[in-house]
A and B are shown apart, each in its own frame.
Chain A
Amino acid sequence: MADQVINIASDFTRYPGPRHIEDGPKSGEEFRDTMLIPRITNAVQSGGKVVIVLDGARGYTSSFLEEAFGGLVRLKSFTRDQLDRILEIRVSDPKIRYLAGNIRDYISSTSAAA
């Protein structure tokens, strides 16, 4: 199956928002539930990768990224192994390359909610 690409700046927003939907528009929760989960679920069922492109947005709060990616493990029952296989974070801008590492940390340091 072909890789599915999500360019956050062009497919979701150039202005990523806060953590929760109740806090404001274009939140990490909204991105996770409306963009990430459908594609990851598809990739789990049929193979392939989900490629996330971070370039071009006006900054990401750690709250947005933690909720979007850490929340997949904490709240949505995806496993770290699954996400390691399926998710590819792509960054061209050297100034924001550290965000790919942060996302990996959010996924690896999060435990599923009891």
Chain B
Amino acid sequence: MADSSKSGKLIDALERIANEHLPDSSVDFDRLASAVLEGITNTKQHAYPAELAKSFRFTERWWATGVIDKAERRVSAIIYDQGASIPDTIMRAPWFPALVDAAKRLTSWGNFENDDGALIAGAMAVGRSKTRLSHRGKGLADMESFMRTCSKGRLSVLSRNGEYVSYAAGDATRFTHSSPIRGTLVQWDVWV
């Protein structure tokens, strides 16, 4: 359940601590709350599909926390789920073959299907694009768009073996690690 009062109260607490320890921080906590809720909603909608319940043995929950680092002048919000990863999820999507085809024609991503970093980047790109049902499927993009309102920050999305990092300046990078994490961890870091 994407319970906005739980995630919202976490952001309330983060804002109170930031006001105490990082006065004059310019973080837009309302937009951060929206980005976090989009991430949690994404978990509710995609991370625990019934057809994978047996093979994954899900705990249908999400976790969230926050950090104020006074020395670094950093505000962070983190959410985590132990469900199906983004690579697992998008490879089962009906539009996945079209995404692979477009990536092969338009990018130098190479062996896209076996590159979890590229699969997460692909999911983000689909979220940013206009789809036929343009009112749907924007959750990942909305998680990222918060970063564009910050002067210095990054969004990190770790899922299975992949990592996608999007920076406030608009650039992004991706990695594929040798060891996986279970589920998906999303972290917003803003330096103030």
Q: Which residues of A contact B (CB under 8 A)?
A: 13-19, 23-26, 57-63, 66-67, 70, 74, 95-96, 106, 109-110
B17 to chain A minimum Cβ distance, whole angstroms, is: 16
Q: Indicate which residue in A13, A19, A106 contacts B5 across the interface (CB closer than 8 Å).
A: A13
Are A59 and B135 CB-contacts (below 8 A) given A13-B4, A18-B4, A24-B44? Answer: no
**Interface assignment of B34: CB less than 8 Å from any CB of chain A:** yes
Contact of B2 among A14, A23, A60 (CB under 8 A): A23
Q: Which of A14, A66, A109 contacts B8 (CB 8 A)?
A: A14
Most B CB atoms within 10 A — which of A13, A25, A74? A25
Residues on the A chain within 8 Å of B31, using CB:
59
Verify B41–A58 contact, CB threshold 8 A.
no
Contact partner of B41 (CB less than 8 A), chosen from A63, A74, A95, A109, is: A63
Partner-A contacts on B (CB < 8 A): 1-5, 7-9, 11-12, 28-34, 37-38, 41, 44-45, 134-135, 138-139, 142
| Pairwise interchain contact A61-B135, C-beta atoms closer than 8 A | no
Enumerate chain B residues within 8 angstroms of A96, measured Cβ to Cβ.
30
Given the known A-B contacts A18-B44, A61-B38, A61-B142, are A25 and B33 also in contact in the complex, defined by CB atoms under 8 Å? Answer: no
Supposing A18-B44, A58-B8 touch, asked if A25 and B38 sit within 8 A by C-beta, the answer is no
Contact of B135 among A16, A23, A58, A70 (CB under 8 A): A70
Chain A contact surface mostly: loop
Pair A18/B142 contact, Cβ less than 8 Å: no
Chain A: which residue is nearest B30 at the CB level? A59
Q: Choose among A23, A74, A96, A109 the residue with the greatest number of B CB atoms under 10 Å from its CB.
A: A23
B3 in complex: contacting residue of A24, A57, A59, CB < 8 Å = A24
Shortest CB-to-CB span from B10 to chain A, Å, is 10
Asked if residues B142 and A63 are in contact (CB atoms below 8 Å), the reply is yes
State the Cβ distance, B35 to closest chain A Cβ, in Å. Answer: 8
- Taking the closest CB of chain A, its distance from the CB of B11, in whole angstroms, is 6
Is there contact, CB below 8 Å, between B41 and A18? yes
Instruction: List 15 A–B pairs whose Cβ atoms lie within 8 Å, in order of A's numbering.
Output: A15-B7, A15-B9, A18-B41, A19-B41, A23-B44, A25-B4, A57-B30, A58-B29, A59-B11, A59-B31, A61-B37, A61-B38, A62-B138, A74-B135, A106-B135
Closest to A17 in B: B4
- How far apart are A53's CB and chain B's nearest CB, in angstroms? 15
Q: Which residues of A contact B5 (CB under 8 A)?
A: 13, 15, 25-26
Bound Cα distance A25, B11 (Å): 17
Residues of the A chain whose Cβ atoms lie less than 8 Å from the Cβ of B41 = 18-19, 23-24, 61, 63
Residues of A within 8 A of B30 (CB): 57-60, 95-96
**Which one of B7, B32, B45 lies within 8 Å of A23 (CB-CB)?**
B45
Extra pairs beyond A15-B8, A62-B142 (5, CB < 8 Å) = A25-B1, A58-B12, A58-B30, A59-B34, A63-B38
